Amino acid sequence: MNRPYVFINTATSADGKMDTFERKGSAISSKRDKERVDQLRADADAVLVGGKTLLGELPKLTVKSEALREARVRRGMTPNPIKVGVVTRADIPLESDFIKAGSARVVIFTTSQTSISKLETLRANGVEVFVDAAPRVNLHKMMELLGELGVKRLMVEGGGTINFELLRLGLVDELMIYIAPMIFGGDNAPTLASGFGLARNDAITMNLKNVETHEDGGVLLHYKL
């Protein structure tokens, strides 16, 4: 498959939660880690999020640093990476930051559960929309299409469902986890990987590439798959 090089980057509490039970996008990363994430975005051709993150948080997915945006332009790239959303029903507000914030190409992979009128409206507002006839987006096909769009390096920023599916399907090359020195708890608080889960014998194995400790007590784990 001619797919991009794919890496997942995420931040969790020490008990593995990406947010609190309130699911309001709680701050986890330190200032140093936020700068690292901005650099990762600046080095990526595209940044991808799944449906819950897309519709629940309406993320900007832009490069915050003006210097990093300018460096991208000097390399012949757009100021921001392509924004990619994967969602079964693309009921996303047209005025959302995902669509409007920053100068960036916007691509959405969805299914026929998205109404024709919504598809037409999104496309009329400059969004590139790919529709899968299946009940869920075919992620193998999506990766091939991203490769055809020129995406060589793809950053994935969650959430847990898309992370799990990409890992389960063998579509991830690296995983970076910033673990903050805090505990959230909560049975329903989102974790790095959710979905239907795997039996022990089917667990996804990884190789630890690097460990970095931060002055705030956080730890960055870098795995290769």
Question: Mind listing the pLDDT tens digit for each residue in 46-94?
Answer: 999 999 999 988 899 999 999 999 999 999 999 999 999 999 999 999 9
Residue 137 amino acid letter: V
Q: For residue 1, is pLDDT > 80?
A: no
Model confidence pLDDT, tens digit, residues 128-164: 999 999 999 999 999 999 999 999 999 999 899 999 9
DSSP 200: G
**Measured at the alpha carbon of residue 85, what is the angle toward residues 84 and 91, in degrees to the nearest 5?**
145
Per the prediction, the chain carries an average pLDDT of: 95
pLDDT tens, 172-190? 999 999 999 999 999 999 9
pTM of the model: 0.95
Peptide bond into 158 cis (omega under 30): no
How is residue 177 written in tokens? Answer: 């986890």
Residue spans of beta strands (DSSP E) within the chain: 5-13, 46-50, 82-86, 106-111, 128-132, 153-156, 174-180, 207-213, 219-224
The β-bridge relationship of strands 207-213 and 174-180 is unpaired
Polymer length in residues for the chain = 225
Nearest Cα neighbor of 83 from 3, 151, 36, 147 is: 151
Q: Give the containing element (helix H, strand E) for 99.
A: helix 97-100
- Domains annotated for the chain, with CATH where assigned, are 5-224 (3.40.430.10)
Tokens matching residue 174: 């690296």
